[in-house]
Structure 1
Amino acid sequence: MLQIDRWKRILIIGICVLGLAYAMPNLFYKRVEAHNDAIASIEKTGVTTPEDEAARAGWPNWLPSGLVNLGLDLRGGAHLLAEVQVGDVYKSRMDALWPELRRALAEERGTIGAIRRVNAPEGTLKIEIGTPDQMARAVEIARGFSDPITTLSGAGQSSLAISGQGSTLTIQLSDAEKSATDDRTIQQSLEIIRRRVDEVGTREPTIMRQGSDRILIQVPGIGSAEELKALIGTTAKLTFNSVVGTGSDPDARVGVGQVVLPSVDQDGVYYTIEETPVVTGEELTDALPASDQNGLPSVDFRFNPSGARKFGAYTSANVGQPFAIVLDDEVISAPVIRQAITTGSGQISGSMDYEEANRLAVLLRAGALPAELTFLEERTIGPELGQDSVDAGKLASMVGFVAVIVLMVLSYGMFGVFASVALAVNMALIFGVLSIIGATLTLPGIAGIVLTIGMAVDANVLVFERIREELKTARGPARAIELGYERAMSAIVDANITTLIIAAILFVLGSGPVKGFAVTLSIGIVTSVFTALWVTRLITITWFERARPRKIEV
């Protein structure tokens, strides 16, 4: 008999109402977006401004406030393709190894003689020893600093490749260690870039690895590619180094392990410093914008226990001597140590405004990039172009929606009207699900929705055609409708499962835009089957119970 249990009716109506409720915020996109931004700002800062309060009051708190995030091609923003210079990490590893190895070799000076670091290609450490016939002992000491590789591909190998020829000891990373280091460097860079972008409150950035040493960065809603580069393009590498001397010649001769860097505040002044830092920015635990004793913008920082211990020991042993605070290969300050600094905290001040101080604090909190980024491709997509895409997507969806409705009504009359109502509910459910999961909508995603509009009525067509056939043999219209839905179900499920499998393959194997298409298509398939088999059935049965027609035409 043609009927649906009451609990099923309540469940169907409840799902539809829930989908409509979660889809509704997208009709008031800017208002809800301002409401969400105000709440996030208040939670982050703990301060409520009149503007935040007005924006928060623009949307009721008891209503859903999830939105479908707009992708780069719909919202506008910046696109960067960066190459990570992994060779920088090899160099820093060798520079960090040198002080410890020098100390170990110096303890054996009576055996291997005097030691001296000599010039070598970047990423390679070369040391001359005074007694060449004791090279085997020097190699043995160096091997004590080599660790076994823990990765599956490098099992059984060591982290350092060590060789001795004549009086020269040569050390560099092994091939297996370089491969593992490259992977760690890329992963670390991805995480640091993600933290830096998230710090400034941008929405749904796409940050992903491409190839062996490249990173794709797409940030919707940001002003330009230059702005994005200013945020993530610097390594923000903070170090505290010993000062050897000062001068005005940028090309002054220096010893091995020393470099000449310019001063930020003093034009024409250059500092010769020890390249190996006393403490690095990696040992910072916090950095906050503040004001110095003169009321000028500054950044307060604090070290972790390891950094505080190193900094305290260095300042205790070098009272009266200058030390350099180096940021991105520029000396931003070179104060004289007046007393030992054992509290583990300090302050960076200089020629910066409050915006620069805040940005520097953000970069230092996020940590230093392990290697320099070289930007191979950069694009800025203006918001006007993104709005054009949104408008074009709306127009395509409306044209497809109206065309399908007209065709269904002309072909199936009253039943076509039922299918059109279900189609509208289907669109709402799609956007409701996208809002709930926080998905990002792109142009391919809009294409998936437009395709769903056409596919959504396929199931209804199968049901209505089956009802037509059953009217010729069944006993009465109620029995024809019931058999139509029952016998069309297997064909509908089979057809949509095959499409869902294809969508799953696209999602697993495809790139970002293809995945967006697969997501909207998959959601559309599920909601289409639900609306075709249950929503139109509920509408049809409700109408039939009220009208009680003796004869129907499909």
Structure 2
Amino acid sequence: MLNIPLWRRVLIWVVVAAGLLLALPNAFYSRVEVSNDAESVIATGLSNEALAAQAGQWPSFLPDGLVNLGLDLRGGAHLLAEVKVSDVYETRMESMWPEVRDTLAAERDVVGFVTREASAPDELRVRISDPTGADRALELVRGLARPVVSLTGVGAMDIEARAEGADIIIGLSDAERAATDERTVRQSLEIIRRRIDEVGTREPAIQRQGDDRILIQVPGVGSAAELKAIIGTTAQLSFRPVVGTVSDPNTQVGAGEELLPFPSQGADSYAIVETAPVVSGEDLVDAQPSFDQNNRPAVSFRFNPTGARRFGDYTAANVGAPFAIVLDDEVISAPRINEAIRGGSGIIMGDFTVEESTDLAVLLRAGALPAELTFLEERTIGPELGQDSIDAGTIACIVAFAAVMVFMALSYGLFGLFANIALLVNVGLIFGLLSLIGATLTLPGIAGIVLTIGMAVDANVLVFERIREELKTAKGPSRAISLGYEKALSAIIDANITTFITAVILFAMGSGPVRGFAITLGLGIITSVFTAIFVTRVLIATWFDRRRPKTIEV
């Protein structure tokens, strides 16, 4: 019969109220967004009257979750970047030279003197003065090989070496190249994600495409150039010993030394520094914008224990000597060591603005990109185009809503009005769930909602048609309604489960817009079944209990 326990009725309306309450902030989107942004800034420790006023635009006791708008609705930037994985090979060969040199030098009586010769970027060519020791030199170099750290390179070694007369040529093995490529792209993707998250952008889509490409879509960014400025800097920091300063850019430097620009000392100033760093940015664990003793913008930093120990040992052994702080092959500061720095922390002082020191801290904190990025495709989507998409989607929803509601009212009368109420609740619940999980709404997502509106009444149509059939057998109205829901249930479950399985497959196999469509479709199926089986039944039962009609017409 139509007797629904009170606890079940209360539970149904509590779920409906909770869903609509979660969806409420989306009706005041701009106000809630401004309030949330102000609260995020206040949480960092910065507070003033303007921020407090902005944060107060939305009551704190109400939910403040919003459905994030995707790139096609909000506007933003789209980039397709290619990671130059070959850069890492050259870096590996540079880092191997000191180890190879020291290993061979330990047996100088066999191999003679060791010098480095010109070679391809992805190889290291070493020449020994005594060609008769080539076999021994080759054995020593191969002894430096390490197992490849990857599932596909089990049992392989990371380097290969061969002899050509008095020359020993060292390069990465194929297995190590494959493992290095994989690590480089993964590390680049993670660093890009961290850099974009640091500047507070909303719901970026960052995903790998192919072997060495990364797709980056960030809503709310003003232009592709702005996005490139956020992620394009490598921010490779190192601390190196200073040999001297010169003004001639053609100055010849010795082995193991490098001539780098020193712009803070003048346009024509250069510093000669050692290529081997004392400490690199890999040992950095934190960087924050700050001010120096003269109240000028600076960046404070902190090393991990390994970096702190090396930094402390070097500064203790070189009191009075200058050392260079090098950022992306440019000396930004060359302070003199006044005393040993044992705490593992320090400050970078330069000709910074507050914005530059903040950006530098963000880049250092996110880490250095392991390889250069080449941007193959870039697009800026303006907010006007996004607004056009929103307007088109809104019109589509309104038209679908109106057509479905008119059809239900004309076809099923009062019962159709109950279905229409449930349809309104259904859409509210969809937005409530999207807000709850922090989903991103895209134009295909709007298409999923429009499709859900059409599908939402299918279950009610099945129930109402079944009630009509039961009424023809001269059963009472209460019995006909109960049997209508009972006998239509299996068909409702079957139809929606198959569609839900399709949505799950689309989400698992698809990406980007396809996933957005799958999410709204899947959530719409869940809310449609809930409103059709429970909400409309409670509405009909409540009406029937009050009116007690002898006959009903569906």
- The TM-score, its normalising length taken from structure 1, stands at 0.96
- The 1-side partners of 2:506 and 2:277 are apart by 49
Q: CA deviation at 1:436?
A: 0.8
Matches within 5 A, 1:226-245: 226-245=225-244
Aligned match of 2:353: 353
Q: CA deviation at 1:365?
A: 1.2
Q: Say how many residue pairs are matched.
A: 553
Aligned match of 2:482: 482
Matches within 5 A, 1:29-428: 29-43=29-43, 45-255=44-254, 257-265=256-264, 266-428=266-428
The aligned amino acid for 1:213 is D
The aligned amino acid for 1:263 is F
The aligned amino acid for 1:181 is T
Helix, strand or coil for the counterpart of 2:81? Answer: strand
Q: CA deviation at 1:38?
A: 2.4
- The 2-side partners of 1:72 and 1:264 are apart by 39
Identity %: 63
Per-residue CA shift, 1:94-146, capped at 9, x if unaligned? 21121122122211111211000111111211110112221222122222321
The answer to whether structure 1 residue 470 and structure 2 residue 464 are counterparts is no
- The 2-side partners of 1:199 and 1:6 are apart by 50
Per-residue CA shift, 1:45-88, capped at 9, x if unaligned? 22332122222222222221111111111111111111111111
Per-residue CA shift, 1:396-435, capped at 9, x if unaligned? 1111111110111111111110110000000011011111
Q: 1:340–1:8: structure 2 CA closer, same or farther, 3 Å change rule?
A: closer
- The 1-side partners of 2:79 and 2:34 are apart by 27
Q: Give ranges in structure 1 of 5+ residues lacking alignment.
A: none
Aligned match of 2:461: 461
Q: Which moved more, 1:522-531 or 1:239-248?
A: 239-248
The answer to whether structure 1 residue 516 and structure 2 residue 516 are counterparts is yes
Alpha carbons 1:119, 1:256 under 8 Å: kept: no
Q: 1:347–1:150: structure 2 CA closer, same or farther, 3 Å change rule?
A: closer
Alpha carbons 2:149, 2:179 under 8 Å: kept: no
- The 1-side partners of 2:112 and 2:341 are apart by 37
Per-residue CA shift, 1:262-298, capped at 9, x if unaligned? 2222212233333222211111222222222333222
Q: CA deviation at 1:13?
A: 1.1
The aligned amino acid for 1:499 is T
Q: CA deviation at 1:259?
A: 3.3
Q: Which moved more, 1:66-75 or 1:318-327?
A: 318-327
Q: 1:340–1:13: structure 2 CA closer, same or farther, 3 Å change rule?
A: closer
Matches within 5 A, 1:409-448: 409-448=409-448
Alpha carbons 1:118, 1:256 under 8 Å: kept: no
Helix, strand or coil for the counterpart of 2:147? Answer: coil
Q: 1:320–1:123: structure 2 CA closer, same or farther, 3 Å change rule?
A: farther
Q: CA deviation at 1:368?
A: 1.0
Q: Which runs of 4+ in 1 moved over 6 A?
A: none
The aligned amino acid for 1:98 is W
The aligned amino acid for 2:311 is F
Alpha carbons 2:242, 2:273 under 8 Å: kept: yes
Per-residue CA shift, 1:127-186, capped at 9, x if unaligned? 101122212221222223211123221111001112222111111111111111111111
The aligned amino acid for 2:203 is E
Q: Which moved more, 1:505-514 or 1:96-105?
A: 96-105
Per-residue CA shift, 1:301-338, capped at 9, x if unaligned? 22222222222333344445443221111121233445
The answer to whether structure 1 residue 527 and structure 2 residue 527 are counterparts is yes
Alpha carbons 2:188, 2:370 under 8 Å: kept: yes
Q: Which moved more, 1:328-337 or 1:535-544?
A: 328-337
- The 2-side partners of 1:337 and 1:182 are apart by 39
- The TM-score, its normalising length taken from structure 2, stands at 0.96
- The 2-side partners of 1:107 and 1:529 are apart by 77
- The 1-side partners of 2:277 and 2:171 are apart by 20
Alpha carbons 1:117, 1:256 under 8 Å: kept: no
Alpha carbons 1:444, 1:516 under 8 Å: kept: yes
- The 1-side partners of 2:253 and 2:166 are apart by 23
Q: Which moved more, 1:220-229 or 1:508-517?
A: 220-229
CA RMSD of aligned residues (A): 1.7
Q: 1:451–1:251: structure 2 CA closer, same or farther, 3 Å change rule?
A: farther
- The 2-side partners of 1:308 and 1:322 are apart by 18
The aligned amino acid for 1:519 is I
Alpha carbons 2:237, 2:327 under 8 Å: kept: yes
Q: Which moved more, 1:329-338 or 1:425-434?
A: 329-338
- The 2-side partners of 1:308 and 1:379 are apart by 43
Alpha carbons 1:159, 1:174 under 8 Å: kept: yes
- The 1-side partners of 2:401 and 2:125 are apart by 72
Q: Which moved more, 1:443-452 or 1:264-273?
A: 264-273
The answer to whether structure 1 residue 544 and structure 2 residue 544 are counterparts is yes
The aligned amino acid for 1:152 is L
Helix, strand or coil for the counterpart of 1:413? Answer: helix
Helix, strand or coil for the counterpart of 1:473? Answer: coil
- The 1-side partners of 2:340 and 2:267 are apart by 29
The aligned amino acid for 1:423 is L
